[in-house]
Amino acid sequence: MSARVFINEVAPRDGFQIERDFVPTADKIALIDDLSPLGFAKIETTSFTSPKAIPNLADAGEVMAGIQRQPGVDYVALIPNEKGVERALACGTDELNFVMSASDSHGRANLRMTADQSLERFERMTDLAAGGGAFINASISTAFGCPFEGDVRPERVLEIVARLAAIGIQGVSLCDTTGMANPRQVAELCEAVLTRQPKLSLTVHLHNTRGMGLANALAAYQSGVMRFDAALGGLGGCPFAPGASGNVCTEDLVHMFEQMSVDTGVDLDGLLKVAEGLPAIVGHDVPGQVFKAGTSQRRYALPEAAR
Amino acid sequence: MSARVFINEVAPRDGFQIERDFVPTADKIALIDDLSPLGFAKIETTSFTSPKAIPNLADAGEVMAGIQRQPGVDYVALIPNEKGVERALACGTDELNFVMSASDSHGRANLRMTADQSLERFERMTDLAAGGGAFINASISTAFGCPFEGDVRPERVLEIVARLAAIGIQGVSLCDTTGMANPRQVAELCEAVLTRQPKLSLTVHLHNTRGMGLANALAAYQSGVMRFDAALGGLGGCPFAPGASGNVCTEDLVHMFEQMSVDTGVDLDGLLKVAEGLPAIVGHDVPGQVFKAGTSQRRYALPEAAR
């Protein structure tokens, strides 16, 4: 197993997009600037999508232009269509993260496209992005199950991954959009993708909806995955899984790996300080546990009676 | 890896003992009676300890006498001393769970005994229990770390386990009392115990203080552990880790294993119904996630626009 993993902080996009209240542009920029020096491989900064579809990220261009970019960090934007490619490239986005769903119902509900329609569109988007210098990743939502259809066949996901590779897409994220995955399933699908597509950069995007977020991350790690999406404080979620907790929490994931002596590159103490400020930014409590409990290194004073 | 695991439901003891308000005896009995038909291997029902030490469990004898025992379920009681052994045997407790701490500071704070003092006492308690027909288990608190001392050497834990086996104790629970363990550590210690003491019945008792509960359970399972303590709703915690979440949540653990096609013997749907009633019993929200989010099998109606 690898002694190093790479973290993509997705809270500015996947967290803020679903908040009830619009997070002010200045707060978004300030948070990203706080995160940038902490050692992330990538920060998913925003989404170049229609302001009607995601009003919370209507300030994508301003955010991308306003942040202080840190050398060594790739600033990623989620992109649903050709217009998004143009807008993202115009402001020098390092990575374009195309998004589709493995299941057609979720694709129609979320993007008004089936998987095949998304793949056709991705060809045009990839052509458009060619020569722009950006890394092209594709996120496959509902790769481990669909909240409308249920099981998603691994063969179908593998077929989609093969078509993405054929299009020329460089990286793929397998997304457990509503937290339906279990560790056995994660290990099996990740191993199959790594075996069949060794040249693709593979990321897992996990949610903690049913408490299995870190267990699934462990299973992915054991199967050879080195890249993980995670959201500060465990922000995020899915409109189709109300009441559930959100993305795997970045500081809890980093803490687990660092405790296992797996290097994340991330400054955990610095990250915990940023996480402590998150409830004030979003106006509510967040699911992250380590910033509340302290790390495993935390020591308590011995009670008087026991001294 | 085993296709079957065995769950010990500990909420009636480890959960209720730390609640701010005394849970009425009738509520305790009703909850245990609701849990009994669900397929647990064991239910840790109460603790025969001093009512001064744990006022919340002062009704131990009444609870043990009041429940409807289900054939095939072992009703366990936590036992700190000789008097507890006598009281537990007098009401036909199936399993006596002796408790000690691997670290002397925690032992002094929690039990007023060092580890060596506990081991000496366990010899007398085991002699006293001989012929009483009860299974003897010993729980080793702070086996993965101490909130006062920090790291606990695995060699020390292995030495304690060897002494417990020599005394004639039949089962050992490695307890991550304040949720300090990580998956690598859990795997290494469990493998060492299973290798050196193959005749001992090994259980892990995990907390979710830092979000790693299910990941640690997965690591224990992968290393060969088949027995797990867990608390309904994720009740419990530790007075020395305030603000933290509690035990591994039973229904979340059962859900994960069942999703992985590992048989727990537990009726998950029945369990979720009992879990839904737990906040009303304890008067507050509880950390369990699956009873809020639904299982991974839950399906949502497709939004109108996507049909």
Is A306 in contact with B219 (Cβ distance < 8 A)? no
Chain B nearest CA to A299, separation (Å): 5
Cβ of A183 and B260 within 8 Å?
A: yes
Q: B292 contacts in A (CB within 8 Å)?
A: 243-244
Provide the pLDDT confidence category of residue B16 given band limits of 50, 70 and 90. very high
What amino acid is encoded at B6 in this protein?
A: F
Q: How far apart are CA A32 and CA A54, in angstroms?
A: 19
- B239 pLDDT exceeds 80? no
d(CA B176, CA B13): 16
Please tell me the predicted confidence (pLDDT) of residue B246: 93
Could you tell me the pLDDT band of residue A276, with boundaries at 50, 70 and 90?
Answer: very high
Report how far residue B13's alpha carbon sits from residue B32's, in angstroms, rounded to the nearest whole number: 11
Could B256 and A182 be called an inter-chain contact, meaning their C-beta atoms sit closer than 8 Å?
yes
A280-296 per-position pLDDT tens digit: 999 999 999 999 999 99
β-sheet bridge partners, residue A205? A175, A229
Contact call for residues B250 and B11 (beta carbons, < 8 A) = yes
Percentage of chain A beyond pLDDT 90 is 94
At residue B242, does pLDDT exceed 90?
no
- The residues, any chain, with a CB within 8 Å of residue A32's CB and separated by 6 or more, are A12, A43, A45, A63, A67
Q: Is A238 a catalytic residue?
A: yes
Please list every residue in chain B whose beta carbon sits closer than 8 Å to the beta carbon of residue A288: 211
Distance, in angstroms, between B277 CA and closest chain A CA?
17
Optimal mutation site among A177, A178, A210, A298, interface B, most CBs of chain B within 10 A: A210
Residue B7: phi and psi, rounded to 5, are -110, 135
Task: Tell if the CB–CB gap between B289 and A214 is shorter than 8 Å.
Answer: no
Secondary structure of residue A287 in the 3-state scheme = coil
Option in B289, B296, B301 nearest A180 (CB): B296
Which candidate in A240, A250, A286, A289 is best for mutational testing of the B interface (most B CBs within 10 A)? A289
Coil/strand/helix, residue B242 = coil
Using CB atoms, which residue from B149, B183, B290 is nearest to A211? B290
Q: Which residue has the higher pLDDT, A303 or B254?
A: B254
Q: Rounded to whole angstroms, how far apart are CA atoms B17 and B7?
A: 20
What does the pLDDT average to over A132-152?
Answer: 97
Q: What dihedral angle (degrees, nearest 10) is formed by the CA atoms of B262, B263, B268, B270?
A: 180
> When comparing pLDDT for A240 and A29, which is higher?
A29
> What's the pLDDT score for residue A240?
58
Contact B112 A306 (CB under 8 A): yes
B180 contacts in A (CB within 8 Å)?
Answer: 296
Q: Among all residues of chain B, which has the CA nearest to that of A111?
A: B306
Pick the CATH number of A6-306 from 3.20.20.70, 3.90.640.10, 1.20.1250.20, 3.40.50.300: 3.20.20.70
Q: If you count residue pairs, one on A and one on B, with CB atoms under 8 Å apart, how many are there? A: 156
For the cut 60, the answer to whether the pLDDT of residue B222 exceeds it is yes
Closest-approach residue (CA) in chain B for A217? B215
Q: Do A213 and B208 touch (CB under 8 A)?
A: no
CA atoms lying within 13 Å on the CB side of residue B194:
17
Nearest one of B248, B238, B231 to B10, comparing CA atoms: B231
pLDDT reported for residue B243: 56
Q: Given the cut 0.90, state whether the ipTM is greater than it.
A: yes
Nearest CA distance, A287 vs chain B (angstrom): 10
Bigger pLDDT: A243 vs B4 = B4
pLDDT, tens only, A37-89? 999 999 999 999 999 999 999 999 999 999 999 999 999 999 999 999 999 99
Q: Residue with structure tokens 């995007």?
A: A205
Q: Give catalytic residues of B, as residue numbers.
A: 238
Q: What is the pLDDT of residues B286-305, one digit of tens each?
A: 999 999 999 999 999 998 87
Q: For B110-153, write each residue's pLDDT tens digit.
A: 999 999 999 999 999 999 999 999 999 999 999 999 999 999 99
Q: Which residues of A touch B261 (CB under 8 A)?
A: 184
The greatest distance separating any two alpha carbons of chain A, rounded to the nearest whole angstrom, comes to 71
Residue spans per domain, chain A: 6-306
Contacts of A208 in chain B (CB under 8 A): 211, 289
Q: Which residue has the tokens 């859990």?
A: B186
8 Å CB contact of B147 and A298: yes
pLDDT in tens, A219-268: 999 999 999 999 999 999 866 555 568 999 999 999 999 999 999 999 99
* Percent of chain A scoring above 70 in pLDDT: 98
Mean pLDDT (chain A, rounded): 96
Q: What pLDDT score does B111 carry?
A: 93
What is the percent of chain B with per-residue pLDDT over 70, rounded to a whole number?
98
Which residues in chain B are contacts of A298 at CB distance < 8 A? 147
Question: What distance in Å separates the CA atoms of residue B275 and residue A111, rounded to the nearest whole number?
Answer: 36
pLDDT at B305: 78
**Hey, CA dihedral for B275, B255, A159, A224, is it positive or negative?**
positive
Q: Please report, for residues A64, A109, A174, B156, the alpha-carbon distance to residue B147 in angstroms, rounded to integers and kept in the order given.
A: 43, 48, 37, 17
Helix (H) or strand (E) holding A191: helix A183-196
Q: What is residue A229's three-state secondary structure?
A: strand
